[in-house]
Structure 1
Amino acid sequence: MHPWLRAQMVLSCWELVGRILGTSKDDVSDDDDPDDSSLHSPLFWSRDLEKHPYGEFSFAVIKGNEVIEDHSQVETGREATFVGVYDGHGGPDASRYISRRLFRNFIISYFVFAHGWYKASRTIGDAYMKEPEYNADPRFRRYYLPLPEPFQRPLLTPEPSLHRRVLQPSDGFVIFASDGLWENLTNQQAVDIVNKHQRAGIARKLIKRALKEAAKKRQMNFDELLRVPDATRRNFHDDITVVVIFVDHDLLEKGASVPELSVRGFGEVKVCHPM
């Protein structure tokens, strides 16, 4: 059966169950569920609050694809904090590869913080959109629809786009997230949520708000969405990864004596000891 038809059948079943049980659309505000305990499931992973030398961070991931395609990491050191959110496309291979190798190569080739903020965002993989001959290759047609017209220059590039920002006193946090979040929340909505709530668990709260919005689009309530089977969940929402980095300006000049950490989505927190 076509995945879209299967998703529609599942949606119809949940709507019928909702009518029978008398459930209704979930319009409860986040303030009514401060601990977000309903997100405790094998689909979900989080670290509510950890420290980095210049503040704290909150980290959370929920799986939407049958095999998770989002890979992510936070690496903290005495002089810098590295955040990586890698959103797989058409499978997890490229994002998994990058999560294992990018930070190591980054450290070797380019050292950051210097009281500023660097961000890199581009695509690795998707070769069929980088070279015309790949788009015509039958091996790629198995996974992607061919482009309607040949392109004359690459549509995507793996070359990073670098942005440097010198932190200002008004800069309180940075939100890193895969498009699973931004498909359901605007920049302003995400910022307002972070400003309104306490730090601990804020990444989890952003994910829950995004899931509520995804449920509303399908005329479901939040609990119904959580019960959608793994095999069809991607038809309702994507993988969502969120990292919120808080910057405490009183620490920028002196730093804090905190352990160096390596934290990966759906992984354990590892304390790193310098050689």
Structure 2
Amino acid sequence: ESAPIIDAVQTWIQERGPELETHPCTIVDLCSGKGFLSMYLSEILDPKRVQKLVLVDKQWAMCGAQPSQHHINWDHIYGEIPGPVACDDDDGEGKTEAMKPSYFDSWPIPLQTSKQDLKNAQNRREMKKRLFESAQGPVLLLAVHLCGTLSLKAVDLFNDNKRISFFALKPCCLPPMLHVTRNEVFQIGTHSFPATDVCASGTFRNSKWKGPPRSHLKARFNSWSDHLYQGVEEGDAGTTQKQKQEFEIQTKGGFQNVFIFAERDSKSTENTFPLINVE
């Protein structure tokens, strides 16, 4: 399900060419999990045009802390590469060094983790300050397989941060019925809609669906996708283009095949950046 987003990111970066070599972009991967999408992008994108990839997930440990059992294991990002390392001494003869290289230095484009809860307003403000406003170039916001109301928060991040030049959202499951019980009305940007339009019961347990037939939920998912698309602001938010596309990712009763893309004009006054030297 990441394939359409990978293709869109590659196209966006290729189209901007030398512009990004002066002001390389930052890619923010929301709800990244272990970071398979970012790891793949690090291997295939041009390091001259992408400064770093930031893996955002509430299950990471805090920066500099020792991960606990309930945290995502980050050895593949910060851990040491196993095995001895041979290098040349002053005489040109090989010798074994005790210090081992880190995976962090092995990625073509640097990967960084960021512990953030998208549902926490303070965390979103921190993201705005530390990830978006401090970026030395355009920001690409990727939101793949976001469950329930996390998709709302992803759209909010795009609407509220004009430094984000590219946005890709792949919604996942529908919001739970709890929001209907509370008589909630969802709001994203200037668009609002009742929870009764989109919420549904059911969940996956041990990789098995527990609830009504998934095919019965297709209409609600289509409504959910439409509302998310309408919530992506144009006009004052600087969006010049947005589109909703379907790619056949799920089969055999699956229906979550909608992708939402949005771009902002890179010539916007809020998307001008100081000149930096890129080595």
TM-score by length of 1: 0.24
The answer to which structure, 1 or 2, has the higher relative contact order (CA under 8 A, 6+ apart) is 1
Q: TM-score, normalised by structure 2?
A: 0.23
- Structure ranking higher in helix proportion: 1
